[in-house]
Structure 1
Amino acid sequence: MKTIALVFLSLFLTKSCQTKKGTTENAPVAEVVKTEETKPEMIENKLQTGTKVEYEAMSRGFFSKIVFENNQLTIASDRNNAEKGTVIMLTKEDASAILNLVKAVNLDEFPNLIAPSDKRMYDGAPHANITITSNGTVYTGPGFDGGNPPSAIAKLVSKLVSYSEKK
């Protein structure tokens, strides 16, 4: 009797797991915020750049993740659901401004940047990281204090963070 119950339960559980795998019922849903009224040309002419910028700052009681890809920003403040966040559709000018700031960064020297301070070492500031993906190559920058990035990426970081403050 135990064997039959065990076989029945294992079949039932594997079948229920397989049906949930393909559905998106429990997938996180992002909230969409528009900076301006979405114009038809913005939808049709999304900037397909191949550039992705991920900024993440965290401490014991703080978490912020900002992802720029194509012409939108995703801002998350929940460490456990970093994929679920607020989506901000950027105008063509805002997206171009961010791309110009990324182009100003020397990506070959990016991993060798030196943080101007070390407050993150003793919980004096959030620990921040930035990763830039350009044309399929991932460039990971050094860790730095949130609010005090290396001067080579200071404008890029402050531009990204400014959108989370507007939210």
Structure 2
Amino acid sequence: MKILSLLFLTIFLGKGCDSAKAQEISNAVIEYEANTRGFYQKITVKNQMVTVSKDRSGNDKPVPTKIADADWKELVECFKTVELDSLARLKAPTEKRFYDGAAIANLKITYKDKAYETTSFDHGFPPKQIKKFVNKITSFAKKE
């Protein structure tokens, strides 16, 4: 009986640790920024709200828009797959930003008071590890 209860307890506690490790997007602030000389776009996602700014100087006051439940659910699933500690080491698949072929993009995630940031990559061509996540974020700007 002791072995059975020990086995059950081990499995139960093991499952509890896995769910606690899962990242919660509600504790995160996601900022995606893309710019060139003539283009600027900053998308901020926080608490199921998105703001899109196209003014580099910050004079405009972007209006927060609620993200639809279906889009939010998809974004949450994508966020769970992002390895925050490895963001800074991701390699950009293209280098169009070096000759003005694409805007320079960056992704910054502030999670539990710690900032995780990617190196620069081409707008529209994110590293494959975060491609689905970035494409979902940029899709919010297209809906405006």
| Counterpart contact for 1:127–1:144, Cα < 8 Å | yes
| Counterpart contact for 2:25–2:79, Cα < 8 Å | no
Distance 1:97 1:132 in 2: 17
> Compared with structure 1, are the counterparts of its residues 73 and 138 closer, same or farther at alpha carbon in structure 2 (3 Å cutoff)?
same
TM-score (norm 1): 0.67
Distance 1:143 1:70 in 2: 25
Deviations 1:19-51 (A, max 9, x none): xxxxxxxxxxxxxxxxxxxxxxxxxxxx98211
Q: Unaligned 5+ residue runs, structure 1?
A: 1-46
Deviation of 1:98 after TM superposition, in Å, equals 1.4
Matched letter for residue 96 of structure 2? K
> Compared with structure 1, are the counterparts of its residues 85 and 142 closer, same or farther at alpha carbon in structure 2 (3 Å cutoff)?
same
- Compute the RMSD of aligned alpha carbons: 1.8
Deviation of 1:136 after TM superposition, in Å, equals 1.6
Distance 2:26 2:112 in 1: 8
Equivalenced residue count is 121
Which structure's CA Rg is the greater one? Answer: 1
Q: Unaligned 5+ residue runs, structure 2?
A: 1-23
| Counterpart contact for 1:64–1:78, Cα < 8 Å | yes
How high is the sequence identity, in percent, across the aligned residues? Answer: 36
Which residue of the partner structure matches residue 124 of structure 2? 147
Distance 1:101 1:83 in 2: 30
Counterparts in 2 of 1:1-167, with a 5 A limit? 49-81=26-58, 84-167=61-144
Matched letter for residue 86 of structure 2? E
Highest RCO, 1 vs 2 (Cα 8 Å, sep ≥ 6):
2
